Structure 1
């Protein structure tokens, strides 16, 4: 469960202080599907970085379970990211010289999983997203929807408790967008993940069981 209390994030830009998040207080229960929607520059990415243990607030606290993400050192935050939190991005972020299976295996490399088990888990993860027949294909040999499926398999192969999706359909057409959201929703239901989707797309946001709106750093509950 996430607990955010009075979270504020400010940056210095020249002689100006810019407020990216303003006094955000939020609870997200385990297993919930949440969409965070807002305009570019409204604070979506900053909030996602906080939830993903990639940054710390200027003020306030962020807790994931018993871990206070706003107070932990870099090493402990790195271990939480490695084991509990996975990310899916708009740009796929696949390594072009590696096959689909090898790309998925990279998520297990830092966890000390032995080679044979890595291969088995990567193959199973790809099968779970409908790419069991594409294990040896390079990213350039896959369509956009297939590349995003590989990225989702890579995110899920380490069996995280939280999946953070940052504009996961931003590079896809409408039909493929709906296909990827069907996949994410199905995996969320099957695996009991906490799924948080950051998007500017209202059609994507409405798929979530809970919708949050953020504008100029201020977070509100959506209808």
Structure 2
């Protein structure tokens, strides 16, 4: 799925000069893998996830995915890949408060399908995605009527509805208590096992990371494998 060579990202700041957020990373992530990325705050986790998600460009190196070197693509092609091939889940859910669960999920379909689906087809796909994450009975509920765990399930359904190849999750359990954390992990693991997704998640939670088949650690912009 991903073949990364010499991946480097630097930023220039007035206070600290040049910062190397990523420092020559080499890593392969196979199609269908479930990988956790751990590390200290500021170590480069989110920067690496942005690269995997075609949200930012490296200063140097290559990141090959979807039969392309993402570093060499134009903005339009990167936008198409994000819309059609990659699903994103974030710590803070990012749901639109005035929309129902189904409407929040439907909002992700339009960019991916360029309006090719009818309203009825979009609504049916949204319902199916919500059913996948156990929310078939919550399609008309707005975010304020849902628990934190349910809101994160809606966010996962929103990422899945466009049927991506990759699911990227940035601290998906960070705002949840232990019980809800385990609920969301079970959802992600089940989707990985049944939907054939490649899943990469960034987490500070060692209890979650230890449940993944593969763990990586990034610190000071450098990546290592964990046992």
Alignment TM-score, normalising by the size of structure 1: 0.99
Residue 100 of structure 1 corresponds to: 101
Please say if 1:137 is aligned against 2:127: no
Residue 182 of structure 2 corresponds to: 178
Query: CA separation in 2, counterparts of 1:150 and 1:69?
Result: 29
Query: CA separation in 2, counterparts of 1:75 and 1:14?
Result: 31
Q: Which runs of 5+ in 2 are unaligned?
A: none
Divergent runs of 4+, >2 A? none
Q: Say which SS state the counterpart of residue 175 (structure 2) adopts.
A: coil
**What does the per-residue CA deviation read over 1:75-103, in whole Å, with 9 as the maximum and x for residues that have no partner?**
00000000000100000000000000000
Residue 59 of structure 1 corresponds to: 60
**What does the per-residue CA deviation read over 1:105-134, in whole Å, with 9 as the maximum and x for residues that have no partner?**
001012222211100000011111111011
Q: Which runs of 5+ in 1 are unaligned?
A: none
Spell out the pairing of 1:1-223 with structure 2 (5 A cutoff): 1-14=1-14, 16-110=17-111, 111=113, 112=115, 113-223=117-227
Instruction: Give the deviation of 1:204 after TM superposition.
Output: 1.2
Q: Say which SS state the counterpart of residue 70 (structure 1) adopts.
A: helix
Instruction: Give the deviation of 1:2 after TM superposition.
Output: 0.2
Instruction: Give the deviation of 1:65 after TM superposition.
Output: 2.9
**What does the per-residue CA deviation read over 1:161-208, in whole Å, with 9 as the maximum and x for residues that have no partner?**
000000000000011101100110001110000000101111111111
Q: Say which SS state the counterpart of residue 72 (structure 2) adopts.
A: coil
Alignment TM-score, normalising by the size of structure 2: 0.97
Query: CA separation in 2, counterparts of 1:54 and 1:219?
Result: 20
Instruction: Give the deviation of 1:11 after TM superposition.
Output: 0.2
